[in-house]
Amino acid sequence: MNTRLLIPTGLILGLCAASPFAQSPEAPTNVPATYSETVSNSKLFKGSTLMGLEIRSLERDAVCATVEDALIKQDGCLGGLIVSTEEGPDGLVILPLDVVSIHGEKRMDDAEEPRPMVHPVKSAVLKVDAKKLAEAPRLVGEDRDGPLTNARWLESTSYFGIESNDERDTESENTRDELAHATPFHRASALIDHEVLDDSNESLGEISDFAFANDGDEVRYVVLECGGVMGLGEKQFAVPFNALEQVRVDDERTLRVPVSAEEIENLEGFERWPRKANSRLFAKADHRSTDKES
């Protein structure tokens, strides 16, 4: 049965903002002793370490939610988390990243062991009262695993008091309906292990992880694993998120990067996670994309 989804015009304002949130809850002024072994000033985090992360409430220093997935916007920003809660009705909650304080792993400086460029996520603190989380709107049924619509996203941001600074003209009912049903997010769980094709639509490798910035929540790059046999001899490359092309091949949606397998084969991958993407390789990719579009 098709049910028409009616969204108040006010909720539609602010879709696809370059800076998604104009206001957000204030950061906690203190952190429980539980986090004495973590730091919040890490520059880059490993995206896969969000999965299964326990979020604690500040007022009780107790686990209030567990991260099940992360949401990456089309523009490459990490927008929010999908969590299961310790209290409240069954279902998952969309948690905007603005209401969570993320902390990376603390490492001692050692001259013989350089500080890693990218840190695992080790802990997180909820910036709002845990009771508000327990009463938040739920993702149930097909929404739990299916594409996340703007309507669902706006329902959550409105509930948590997150306001957008972008105002778009949505005069017609059809436009409002299309925007409400649009799905402008990648689920991180679907991105990781996703096959990536080369510019000839041949299998190049798969995405094993991604790195995102603590300041600004930008996904700096995805980690592309290529080559190797049974996990041996694989090479890793830092691919800019915007270099991933969503294409349809044999009636299936997949991801492609505009480089050849030969170029990848002749380059060294990274051993330590870098601070930024491989600009040497993907500067060529960006140039090719421009040529194709023109």
Express each pLDDT in 249-268 by its tens digit: 887 888 998 888 888 888 88
Mean pLDDT for the chain overall: 77
pLDDT given for residue 99 in this prediction: 93
The enclosing domain of 88 has a CATH number of 3.90.50.10
The enclosing domain of 232 has a CATH number of 2.30.30.240
- Tens of pLDDT, residue by residue over 25-65, are 454 555 545 444 454 456 889 999 999 999 999 777 789 99
Helix extents (H) in the chain = 9-12, 130-134, 150-159, 173-181, 188-191, 261-265, 279-293
pLDDT given for residue 50 in this prediction: 95
Phi, psi torsion values for 253, nearest 5 degrees: -80, 135
CA angle centred on 244, ends 115 and 150, rounded to 5°: 100
- Residue 10: is its pLDDT beyond 60? no
**Which residues does residue 82 pair with via DSSP β-bridges, in sequence order?**
69, 94
What domain range is 39 assigned to?
Answer: 32-159
Shared-domain flag, residues 206 and 269: yes
Beta strands, E only, the chain: 38-39, 44-46, 54-57, 62-73, 78-85, 92-96, 100-105, 121-126, 185-187, 195-197, 203-213, 219-226, 235-239, 245-249, 252-256
| Cα–Cα dist 58/261, whole Å | 49
Q: The pTM is what?
A: 0.77
Residue 238 and residue 221 in contact, taking contact as beta carbons nearer than 8 Å: yes
Residue with the larger pLDDT of the pair 294 and 45 = 45
Shared-domain flag, residues 148 and 36: yes
pLDDT given for residue 51 in this prediction: 96
Q: Is residue 174 part of a domain?
A: no
pLDDT-derived band at 109 (thresholds 50, 70, 90) equals low
**Total count of domains within the chain:** 2
Beta-strand relationship, 195-197 and 252-256: parallel
Q: Is residue 10 part of a domain?
A: no
Point out the domain boundary residue: 117, 134, 159.
159
Shared-domain flag, residues 121 and 239: no
pLDDT given for residue 164 in this prediction: 56
Shared-domain flag, residues 119 and 213: no
